[in-house]
């Protein structure tokens, strides 16, 4: 075993064939959790905030094992994940605590941003395009939308009148989840509109970031696919 492979094992965890299989499994769980958050929870009755927090915990746990992290970063994320799960558990019994909700969504946003960066790095460093590469790219895109959602929720908790036609307070999460992904994809139906400068700024950032991500990640995947195809010929 050469020195470079030794240094890689010291710096990264969950490397090797068995670990790659585990990454694949956790990415599938992460994908299932994200799809549940995006498509299932919005149609659950108003009191579905309880289920939202449960799915958030599942996303945190699966996200912690869905990418390769340095040992130091993994320890930091583990601590952050424990805090997120603890605060989420407490918030289940205090659903109407605004301050606790702000702390909960901020911690989750920070966690999701770090996991997203790790997933994108996995795609960028992959030698060839396979199922793991594609699912990491999908998960990172969905995490970007979820992170944008939580930032918008925090904004509304601070400034309730940041958006027009947003509905009742208990529907904020599902409504802003819809708005975040509509903005991320630049679809823009116009049924919900940002009315304050900060809300408009976050909406613009979400739209631009979503398009930049798609351009960059598609270029990476297509480039790796073409390189793999040339090497096989």
Query: Into which CATH architecture does domain 3-232 fall?
Result: Orthogonal Bundle (1.10)
Which residues touch 127 (CB under 8 Å, ≥6 apart)? Answer: 224, 228
- State residue 86's pLDDT score: 94
- State residue 52's pLDDT score: 84
Number of helical (H) and strand (E) elements in the chain, helices listed first = 8, 2
Task: Tell me the angle at which helices 131-158 and 197-232 cross, rounded to the nearest 10 degrees.
Answer: 180
167 φ/ψ sector (left φ>0, alpha ψ -120 to 50, else beta): left
Which residues touch 59 (CB under 8 Å, ≥6 apart)? Answer: 30, 33, 34, 37, 112, 146
Question: Looking at residue 66, what DSSP letter applies?
Answer: S
Model confidence, pTM: 0.87
* Cβ atoms within 10 Å, residue 150: 24
Q: What are the pLDDT tens digits along the chain (233 aa)?
A: 444 443 444 344 444 556 677 888 899 999 999 999 999 888 876 555 778 888 999 999 999 988 888 888 889 999 999 999 999 889 888 767 888 888 999 999 999 999 999 999 888 888 777 788 889 999 999 999 999 999 999 999 898 889 988 866 556 788 899 999 999 998 888 889 999 999 999 999 999 999 999 999 988 888 887 777 666 66
- Domain residue limits, the chain: 3-232
């Amino acid at each position: 075993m050469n020195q470079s492979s030794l240094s890689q094992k010291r710096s990264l965890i969950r490397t090797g064939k068995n670990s790659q299989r585990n990454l694949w499994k956790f990415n599938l769980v992460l994908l299932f959790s994200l799809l549940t958050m995006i498509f299932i929870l919005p149609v659950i009755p108003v009191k579905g905030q309880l289920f939202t927090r449960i799915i958030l915990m599942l996303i945190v746990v699966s996200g912690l094992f869905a990418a390769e992290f340095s040992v130091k970063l993994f320890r930091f994320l583990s601590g952050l994940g424990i805090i997120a799960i603890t605060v989420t558990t407490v918030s289940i019994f205090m659903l109407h605590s605004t301050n606790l909700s702000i702390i909960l969504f901020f911690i989750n946003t920070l966690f999701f941003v770090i996991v997203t960066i790790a997933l994108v790095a996995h795609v960028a460093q992959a030698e060839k395009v396979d199922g793991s590469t594609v699912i990491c790219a999908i998960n990172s895109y969905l995490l970007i939308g979820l992170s944008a959602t939580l930032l918008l929720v925090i904004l509304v908790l601070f400034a309730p009148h940041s958006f027009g036609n947003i509905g009742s307070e208990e529907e904020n999460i599902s409504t802003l989840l819809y708005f975040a992904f509509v903005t991320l994809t630049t679809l823009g139906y116009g049924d919900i509109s940002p009315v304050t400068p900060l809300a408009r700024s976050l909406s613009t950032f979400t739209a631009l970031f979503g398009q930049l991500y798609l351009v960059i990640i598609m270029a990476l995947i297509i480039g790796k696919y073409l390189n793999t195809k040339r090497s096989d010929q």
